[in-house]
Copies of this chain bind each other. A is one copy, B any other.
């Protein structure tokens, strides 16, 4: 497979005078990150200006040589915060200052981004500090090369149960560093077979090699861990976290792992979930399990990231009392304050599983004495699988802006995962990766905006979704106004459109089981996964109020009351919290059934508009990109109709209530 450079595809800027006189990049290169910073700047400037600046091992001295920018100077300034940078013009040079080489790297990419956007350099003065301490990708790559929920080809980390560290991996590291991502978990959280052995001699030469390549770009390597490793490797009969021999096994193992791979960031664990083993097997708590591992990695500065995605996946659809939405809260809330400091709980944005619309996970605002990381998914598992456009940054913005009311101020999800609310450092945001070995990395070219956007957002959550979109379009495809306007429109309208033709009003799950692609209203209705809509001929929705499962009350006030009351519950979450008749009047003034019909027609109309507008970009985008996107848009156009017609028909047949506007429903 070949691969493209995505937003690092530096192209010649014929009319951009500001970079034409840059002759030197000055720095004291005493580590790999400094070297990479210099190399990236020299490459970018060469490609954009036509002339490669020389490297000078100089500590940014030298006199001002004239009125134009001639030098880029990289300089450590130990007064600054970790990873922060200051990029500013000073005489004939651009200074990049940071307290560490990671900051220098981010500052270098900031400068390159400014150049890609053809900004005036003479007045440059940008001071930035990453908002969230941890900004991570989670890859669900299996060692056989497949990717769970991968929609962009196979793994580039694993082929035939072997690890790969090649040129593509270097580019991967550059792509991440350019948007400030500083951690990555390379293997699937469902750890099976060979992946169990990533912590053994069998693989650690390659693990170390990879950790060093990534480290050169400020990225810490993490692995997903098999909680039952001591048993599955045949070295212990138990995995009980309180068993002395198990504790010793992990300590011994970690000692060896860290001797071989000293830069390893730590481990991600999915335990007691969807068939994965965990402490419940031994009647222990998740704190017991996580703390045992945390103690084993603590001497080496390692971190244990523990997923809160724990629920009963053998539910009976007839049972209306059990509520999967409650499970994360119910399993972890009682453990608040019992986790070691090098444990982070990784919590999905919503209580279910990455649906197009969910309420915020109630553990945010619930947990007060536990390190927390927000998990989002840019792999578009439920949001069109990278065949539909679905720019997710607007959703993430809403999640981050959600006030939890756990405090009077600084109480948003963003504040919590940035460490402001509870004064934590082990916190941040992780995204399940949308990358694979497709030439363009993400299958759909426009899906790259989600990777780019995730990194930018975790670094600078104050950026708006639209600002990020505009920036990504420019660095990727240049400054053509029509390109920018069109793609910005497509991106910004894509999530709202997808929500419109998908399951209505926050109920979720109307997809084909297993695949999670394409409409199937009853697909999960009689299944064991706890994912029901409870539609009958009169109405639809799940009663999660105090008269139902009580889930609404897991939030702080005023949310609890707002969600609990069918009259105050926001429209977009109405069916998540309440069972209402189809004739129920929404705040919009429409009935639920008319809302279903209207939104499903509207969503398709937006897609049609996208298709029409995109067609005009022919000749303005690289031919291959245009063709790939046009092909996927044609599919989305067809498939959004399938969504519209199946969902409308299902509810028309069930309710018997006709569309007020008399449109075709089957």
Contact = CB atoms under 8 A, between A and B. Distances in A.
A642 B527 CA distance: 10
Contacts of A645: 318, 526
A646 interface: yes
A300 interface: no
B653 A537 contact: yes
A318 B652 CA distance: 14
Nearest to A320: B666
A317 interface: yes
**Interface residue tally of chain A, by bracket?**
20 to 34
Number of copies: 2
Contacts of A642: 526
Contact of A653 (B318, B649, B654, B666): B654
Given A537-B653, A666-B317, A520 B522 contact: yes
Given A317-B666, A666-B318, A526 B649 contact: yes
A535 B649 contact: no
A538 interface: yes
A59 interface: no
Interface in A643-661: 645-646, 649-650, 652-656
A602 B562 CA distance: 47
A653 B653 CA distance: 11
Contacts of A650: 522
Interface string A532-559: 0001111000000000000000000000
Given A317-B666, A318-B645, A666-B318, A656 B537 contact: yes
A521 interface: yes
Nearest to A655: B537
A519 interface: yes
B653 A536 contact: yes
A650 B526 CA distance: 9
B653 A526 contact: no
A650 B650 CA distance: 12
Nearest to A664: B318
Contacts of A522: 520-522, 650
A504 B287 CA distance: 51
A521 B650 CA distance: 12
Majority secondary structure of chain A interface residues (helix, strand, loop or mixed): loop
Interface in A495-549: 519-522, 526, 535-538
Nearest to A318: B666
A315 to B, nearest CB: 13
Contacts of A652: 536
Interface in A267-320: 317-318
B519 A526 contact: yes
Nearest to A317: B666
Given A318-B666, A666-B317, A646 B536 contact: no
Interface centre among A526, A652, A655 (most CB of B within 10 A): A526
A538 B656 CA distance: 8
Given A645-B318, A646-B526, A653 B535 contact: yes
Contacts of A653: 535-537, 654
Contact of A536 (B519, B526, B538, B656): B656
A177 B175 CA distance: 68
A501 to B, nearest CB: 14
A642 B317 CA distance: 10
Interface in A622-666: 642, 645-646, 649-650, 652-656, 666
A511 to B, nearest CB: 12
A654 B519 CA distance: 19
A555 to B, nearest CB: 29
Interface string A591-628: 00000000000000000000000000000000000000
A284 B626 CA distance: 40
A356 B181 CA distance: 57
Given A526-B646, A526-B649, A646-B526, A654 B318 contact: no
A654 B317 CA distance: 17
Nearest to A647: B526
Contact of A537 (B646, B654, B666): B654
A185 B176 CA distance: 57
A526 B642 CA distance: 9
Nearest to A657: B537
Interface in A310-332: 317-318
Contacts of A519: 526
Interface of A: 317-318, 519-522, 526, 535-538, 642, 645-646, 649-650, 652-656, 666
13 contacts: A318-B645, A520-B522, A521-B522, A522-B650, A526-B645, A526-B646, A535-B653, A536-B654, A537-B653, A537-B654, A537-B656, A538-B656, A654-B654
Given A520-B526, A536-B652, A536-B653, 6 more contacts: A318-B645, A318-B666, A536-B656, A537-B654, A537-B655, A537-B656
